Amino acid sequence: MLLNLAIRNYALIEDLKVSFKEGLTAITGETGAGKSILLGGLSLVLGKRADRSSLRDQEVRCVIEATFDINKYNLESYFALHDLEYDPITIIRREIHPTGKSRAFINDSPVTLEVLTPLGKRLIDIHSQHQTLQLTEQDFQLKVLDAFAGNKEILEAYQLKLSQFKKNQKDLEMLLTSQRQFYKEHDYNSFLLNELREFELEEGLQERLEDENNQLTNAENIIEFLSKGNQLLTDDQIGIVSLLQELNVVSSKLMGLGKKFEILKDRVSSVQIEVNDISEEMQSLQDEVVADPIKLEEVNQSLRQLYDLQRKHDTSSIEGLIEIKKELEVKLDTSEHLDSEINRLELNLKNLEDELTLLATKLTKQRRKAIPELKSKLEEFLNVLSLPNASFSLDLKTIEEFHKTGKDDLQFLFAANKGSEYLPIKKVASGGELSRIMLTIKAILASYSQLPTLIFDEIDSGVSGEISNKMGDIMLQMSQHMQVFTITHLPQVASKGDRHFKVFKTDEENRTKTQMKELSADERIVELAEMLGGKDLSDSALAHARQLLN
């Protein structure tokens, strides 16, 4: 329920603060007084997009703030979903800055319009004249029938299953695409993998091959250098081994002549042992190194193959090839997994389809059951609104596809007179008839679902005084269950309000501004009399106004 509305620096509104209560509130004013501006400002806090052109003073920000009692709307989960602080008395604020930048807040927390707009739709339903065209839309017609049939829980369950069904379909299509791609690349990937497997890749292989190639290529030089080194070590006259042997004998004679000579002897012995070991190693290496052109060609061939593989797979290391080999093995091993997962999803899809069909069938059954009573209610209300011969035919057809509302197509067919052919509403109903039908539907829905605050913007336009009187009665009846506003030019409707506000313009300091005030009992009589007979108040107009209020 809308409790308070404050608008500052918006269009012709300089600074407006107004409070509302439950029941039926009538809003009147001359054409051009600013009733549409009031609705425009309210629309901004409900999520409508804005720009700086709506600023009254282009140098000052516009602020619109609305306070709502949301205690009965079950919105806790919505607030939790968007990480907002829930308060039964919630304040929505919209700011438009001179730069054109717009900001929105819910209980002082900044939000995007994507968060604000769905909330706004659950708080206020502004029914303007052009929205009567909703009557011709199948989604709206199904929404009416489902509300009347009490299909809320079944429809929610159906839509949840439909979401799962579509996700399953998407996942299955992705896997089928992967499977097709897999089969397309299978032979090539198998060839690449076999090529890598044949090479027997292992870490360090490249370094070993390159080292072996280097030794085989330089075998003669290696043998020559090792031979010369060994000669320097083992020559009988000048060999290092012989000289160290003599040095060892000399250092042995120093033993027992002091601790430091013992240490010296140990060091000489260590050097002698190391040199002897080097000599043996050089001899062993010399025996191992052989100039082998055939082996060299084999090593070179292996290296060429390795370098070719690295270029083909765009890597510079043996580790990179090993990783690519593992990836190819995974790709080729996914075939069995893909088939299994596809089978699982196909089975799951079939189960979901069966569950959807069952829920869609329940929806259809409930809808067909509700159609006669809804038809009767519609015709009963229209009879009250001076359409005694109007009748409806609700054409419900089952289709093959799963739509967001089930497997039904619905069309409201209308005949305004006896014997007339039933045709779609948009083809046969006049503007006045559309208004009455929409009011009738809203009145019926008010008894079967929790509607938000309703604002009727001249829904009584184009109807006679007697019919408008009956429309006012219906709105008054609706207001017993919900908060209802009616913006009207008809005194018969305005007189039904529990409260009456007037929108008017004043000129101050060569500037026009829109204002709004709640009328007292005496002021209501004057306002209604002016609506009946113009500014020149007559006794009959005043008497008629009093009669309307009574």
CB-based burial, 211-222: b 16+ in 10 Å, e otherwise:
ebbebbeebeeb
Per-residue pLDDT tens digits for 493-530? 999 999 999 999 988 878 888 999 999 999 999 999 99
Q: Nearest CA to 120 among 87, 77, 75?
A: 75
Asked whether residue 28 is assigned to any structural domain, the reply reads yes
> With contact defined as beta carbons under 8 Å apart, do 45 and 62 qualify?
no
Query: Are 32 and 3 contained in the same domain?
Result: yes
Query: Are 491 and 536 contained in the same domain?
Result: no
Query: Are 80 and 108 contained in the same domain?
Result: yes
Query: Are 470 and 536 contained in the same domain?
Result: no
Query: Are 507 and 535 contained in the same domain?
Result: no
Asked whether residue 496 is assigned to any structural domain, the reply reads yes
Poorest-pLDDT segment among 56-65, 205-214, 312-321, 466-475: 205-214
Strands 499-508, 24-28: pairing kind: parallel
Looking at residue 157, its amino acid is A
pLDDT at residue 436, as a whole number? 86
Query: Are 54 and 40 contained in the same domain?
Result: yes
Structure tokens at 502: 């007037």
Per-residue pLDDT tens digits for 227-264? 787 777 777 666 777 777 777 777 787 776 777 887 88
Asked whether residue 471 is assigned to any structural domain, the reply reads yes
Angstrom distance (rounded) from CA 102 to CA 119: 18
Dihedral pair phi/psi, residue 291, rounded to 5°: -75, 110
Average pLDDT value for residue range 46-75: 89
> With contact defined as beta carbons under 8 Å apart, do 505 and 471 qualify?
no
Query: Are 27 and 97 contained in the same domain?
Result: yes
Query: Are 108 and 79 contained in the same domain?
Result: yes
pLDDT at residue 129, as a whole number? 63
Query: Are 74 and 14 contained in the same domain?
Result: yes
CATH of the domain at 65: 3.40.50.300
Count up the domains in the chain and report the number: 2
Poorest-pLDDT segment among 28-32, 135-139, 150-154, 379-383: 135-139
Query: Are 542 and 468 contained in the same domain?
Result: no
Query: Are 61 and 8 contained in the same domain?
Result: yes
DSSP 256-295: TS-HHHHHHHHHHHHHHHHHHHHHHHHHHHHHH----HHH
Average pLDDT value for residue range 454-460: 87
CB-based burial, 114-129: b 16+ in 10 Å, e otherwise:
ebbeebbebbbbbbeb
Asked whether residue 462 is assigned to any structural domain, the reply reads yes
pLDDT at residue 369, as a whole number? 96
Asked whether residue 391 is assigned to any structural domain, the reply reads no
Q: Which structural domain range is residue 527 located in? A: 521-550
Asked whether residue 225 is assigned to any structural domain, the reply reads no
Determine the 3-state secondary structure of 50 from DSSP: coil
In SS3 terms, 436-501 reads as: HHHHHHHHHHHHHCCCCEEEEECCCCCCCHHHHHHHHHHHHHHCCCCCEEEECCCHHHHCCCCEEE
Q: Which residue has the tokens 């305005």?
A: 494
Structure tokens at 346: 């196909």
Query: Are 527 and 488 contained in the same domain?
Result: no
pLDDT at residue 459, as a whole number? 83
Angstrom distance (rounded) from CA 68 to CA 1: 5
